[in-house]
Amino acid sequence: MQTLQELQLLGLTFTEEQIAKEKRAVEARRQQELAKKRKRKLRRQEKKQGGPHPVQIEQDDRFFFIAGYTSGGAPYGVTWEEMGLKPWEPLEDG
């Protein structure tokens, strides 16, 4: 808006529509900057706390760890058998 005021001081005239459009553009830029700041602050907090929230490990009766899904929807990952465990058998600590 400062630029618009300076241009008016130089003798340029603007319609109310042009002024309103500029106000909306300035507000949109301000909102973008605020969103960036919030995102940076959140990243800094996550970094201080040791990263983002803990990841939930997906499992089912066949897979100990589901790494992902194929385009057809089939899961892939590490099976219980590959881990040397029976399905839903707890891991030994230590």
Helix then strand then coil, % of the chain, to nearest 5: 45, 15, 45
Q: How many CB atoms lie within 10 A of CB 37?
A: 10
- pLDDT tens, residue by residue, 78-94: 999 999 988 888 777 65
Q: Within a 13 Å sphere around the CA of 15, how many CA atoms are in the beta-carbon half?
A: 3
What confidence score (pLDDT) does residue 81 get? Answer: 92
Percent of the chain scored above 90 by pLDDT? Answer: 23
Domain parsing of the chain, residue ranges: 2-48, 55-94
Burial of 68-93, coded b for 16+ CB within 10 Å and e otherwise, reads eeeeeeeeebeebeeeeeeeeeeeee
Q: What is the mean pLDDT of residues 32-42?
A: 88
According to the model, what pLDDT value does residue 8 have?
Answer: 86
pLDDT of the residue at 4 = 80
Band of the pLDDT at 53, cuts 50, 70, 90? low
